[in-house]
Structure formats: C-alpha cells, structure tokens
C-alpha cells in the first residue's frame, strides 16, 4: 500500500503495531464480512489494537478485530468473532511458512476500502524488545530535529 490511490478510503490504522513490531513485509487481504459489519466499518466503528492473524487449517483467520454492531442492523453479530481473510492458497502457504518456520507474527496494520471492497493490510514481522523501542524513538526524535534544523536553514 505504498502508492496513494484515489479509490482508497482509509478507515483505521494500527499505529501501535509499527512501534511494537519490526515489520519486514506487508500484504493486502480481503475480509469476509457480514452485511451490517460493512456498514459499521464504513462508519469507522473498528478497534484493531489487539487484533492478530493466524494460519489454521489452510485458512488465514483474523482474531480480536472488534467491529461494533451497526445500530440499524436486524441480525445479531458477535463484534469480536474470528473473520476469514481472503487470500490465494500460495499466499497462505507463504505466510504459514514464514510464521511457523521463522517465528514471525501476522499483525493487521490498516483497514480501508479499495473501491467497494473492505481490505486489510497485514504486516509480517517480529516483536521488538523494550530497548529496541527506545532506540527507534530516539532515532525518530533525532531525524525530526535534523529536519527542523534543515527547514530553518532553508527558510531563513
């Protein structure tokens, strides 16, 4: 999702994920949703802070994604139910190999609409230790100070 596309409508980002994990690779997947869940997502009623994905029985499953119930819905859907991710078999196999053999985690990074379809961006990465997080914050602060100094030099 590096390109900016006019047909993309961002719904939610998991900002904490890039802080807690060293993301090595990203992939876009579709979400298998019920009708009222789509309407709820369009309203932005999604919490993805504790969400994660796993590969089980040859399928990619998204767990702990909380989609609040749509107020006008007639059917009762569990907000935290596991949802199937729509990926090709070869993609699922590749993800399974990386999670099982290399010990990486599948973390949802963003939910958005590409045209009429709800999509999720998954990141494949390893967890950061506390000292790694501190180092990343220090690096970001240093970069920010450098940019400010350069901007001041070009303005004045």
59: containing domain: 8-128
Q: Give pLDDT tens digits for 87-111.
A: 999 999 999 999 998 889 999 999 9
**Is residue 155 in a domain?**
no
> pTM of this prediction?
0.78
Number of domains in the chain: 1
> Any idea what the Cα angle at residue 108 is, between residues 103 and 109, rounded to 5°?
115
In a domain, 135, yes or no: no
pLDDT (tens digit per residue) in 41-85: 999 999 998 899 999 999 999 999 999 999 888 888 999 999 999
Q: What is the rounded CA–CA span in Å between residue 79 and residue 85?
A: 16
Mean pLDDT over the full length of the chain: 90
CATH code (residue 107):
2.40.280.10
């Amino acid at each position: 999702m590096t390109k900016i596309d006019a047909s993309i409508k961002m719904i939610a980002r998991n900002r904490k994920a890039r802080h807690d994990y060293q993301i090595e690779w990203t992939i876009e997947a579709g979400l298998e949703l019920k009708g009222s869940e789509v309407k709820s997502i369009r309203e932005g009623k999604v919490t993805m802070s504790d969400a994660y994905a796993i590969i089980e029985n040859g399928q990619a499953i998204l767990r702990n994604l909380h989609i609040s119930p749509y107020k006008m819905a007639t059917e009762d859907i569990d907000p935290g139910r596991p949802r199937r991710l729509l990926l090709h078999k070869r993609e699922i196999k590749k993800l399974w190999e990386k999670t099982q053999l290399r010990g990486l985690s599948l973390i949802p990074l963003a939910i958005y609409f590409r045209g009429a379809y709800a999509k999720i961006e998954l990141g494949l990465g390893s967890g950061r230790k506390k000292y790694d997080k501190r180092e990343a914050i220090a690096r970001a602060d240093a970069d920010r100070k450098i940019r400010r100094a350069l901007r001041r030099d070009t303005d004045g």
